[in-house]
Each structure stands twice: as C-alpha cells, then as structure tokens.
Structure 1
Amino acid sequence: MTYPVKDTLVWCEIPVTDMKEGCAFYSAVFDSEMEIEEGGPNPVSFFPKQSENDVAGHIYPGKPASNGEGITAHLHAPDTLEATVGRAQKAGAAIIGPIIDMPFGRFQYAIDPFGNSLGIFSMSK
C-alpha cells in the first residue's frame, strides 16, 4: 500500500525556557534571523523555510524534557553539516557522539541549551 501523504511529520514545536535566547540560538544554527511573533495565544518563532507548503516548526515558551530525554527533532542543515554543527556548538549546544553516516545522508546528535534533543541532518545529494 502506498502511503497517502508526502510527509509523515507535518510540524515540530520545540519548547525553550527563554524566547530571546531561543531565537538567538536557532538563528545562529540556521544562519537565518528568527523573530518572536506575538500574534497568537502564545509567542512563537518560526523556523526558516523556502515556501509556505514546506514542513517546518517553531519554538515556543515551554518546559523542555530534562537532559535530552524527550523526542529528537531532526533539523536540516542549511549548508554543510560541519558548519551547522559548529554554529550550534558555538551557540551553546552540546554535541553528542560522532557524525553518523546513512545511505540517504548524515547527521549529528546535539542537545540545545534548553535540554532538547536534536539531530542536525544533511541529506545526500
């Protein structure tokens, strides 16, 4: 049976304990300015994406799982994996283990400054 939708994941919400610090961290990781938007019931800051139909997500004020024990959000590196991981580490992420090679790409585990588990991912070309 063919799965009826293109992407299983449709959105990702990552809790941060401080929105300004969260925007600064993820802006550094993505090398793209993220701004706090106050228009909804809670402030959010959206991850960069190319078009309105792309899968993405946002950060929001919340309580992350402790010590990376929650789910792992895999985020696409906007340039090389090494450059993105370097920016994440410089901005305060803890890098976990070596780069992992897969047939379809490479990724590196990290814990953001708020305790969220991340996979920084680069697809094969």
Structure 2
Amino acid sequence: MTYPVKDTLVWCEIPVTDMAEGVAFYSALFDVQMTIEDGGPNPVSFFPKQGDDDVAGHIYPGKPAQNGEGITVHLHAPDTLEATVGRAQKAGAEIIGPVVDLPFGRFQYAIDPFGNSISVYSKSG
C-alpha cells in the first residue's frame, strides 16, 4: 500500500523568546535574510523553502523547552554541514557532541540560543 500523502510532517514551529534575536539567529544559520510576518494570530518568521508545497517551518514568540529537553527539529543545511554549523555556533548555538554519520547523510546536534534542541542535516551525495 502506498502512503496517501507525500510528507508526514506538515510544518514545524520553533518557539523563541525574542523574535528579533530569533530572526537574526535563524537568518545566520540558513544564510538568508528572514523577516517577521504579522498576518496571523502571532508574528512569525518563515524558514526558507523552494516551492509552495515544500515542508518547512517558522519561529514564533513562545516559551521553548529549556536545555534542549524538547523535541529535536532537524534542519537541512543550505550548503556544507561545516559552514552551516559554523554560522549557527557564531550566532550563539551550543554545539552538542560530534557529527553523526549515517548511510544517507550527516548531522550535528545543537541547542539554539533559546534552549531549543535542533540539528543541522546534510544529505549524502
């Protein structure tokens, strides 16, 4: 049986305690300029994506789980894993452990400046 939908993840929301600081951090991580959108019930800043049907996420004003104790969102590196992790660390992320190698890619765990558990992922090939 074929699963009826392309992606099981629809989108993710990452809470930040300061939107301007969140935009600065995630803009540095993704190496793009993100902006704050005020069109919904809360201000948000959307992660970059290529097409309207692509899965992504956003940051919003909220209370993060502290010390990386919440869920982990794996974010795709826009260039090399090392370059993206370097930007994240320079922007305030705490890097956790060594790079994890998998048959299909590699990733690096980190805690963003707000306490959220994230990882940066790079696909092999």
User: TM-score of the superposition, structure 2-length normalised?
Assistant: 0.98
Q: Secondary structure at the match of 1:89?
A: helix
Alpha-carbon displacement from aligned partner over 1:47-97 (angstroms, at most 9, x marks no partner): 000111100000000000011000000000000000000000000000000
Counterpart residue number, 2:37 = 37
Q: Secondary structure at the match of 1:87?
A: helix
Counterpart residue number, 1:71 = 71
Counterpart residue number, 1:61 = 61
For structure 2, list consecutive stretches of 5 or more residues without a partner in the other structure. Answer: none
For structure 1, list consecutive stretches of 5 or more residues without a partner in the other structure. Answer: none
The Cα RMSD (Å) is 0.7
Q: CA deviation at 1:2?
A: 2.7
Distance in 1 of aligned mates of 2:40 and 2:74: 25
Which residue identity does 1:38 align to in structure 2?
Answer: D
Q: Within the alignment, does 1:14 sit opposite 2:7 as a pair?
A: no
Counterpart residue number, 2:88 = 88
Distance in 2 of aligned mates of 1:3 and 1:111: 33
Distance in 1 of aligned mates of 2:3 and 2:37: 34
Question: Which contiguous aligned blocks of 4+ residues in structure 1 show a shift greater than 4 angstroms?
Answer: none
Q: CA deviation at 1:122?
A: 0.5
Q: CA deviation at 1:7?
A: 1.1
Which residue identity does 1:18 align to in structure 2?
Answer: D
Q: Number of paired residues?
A: 125
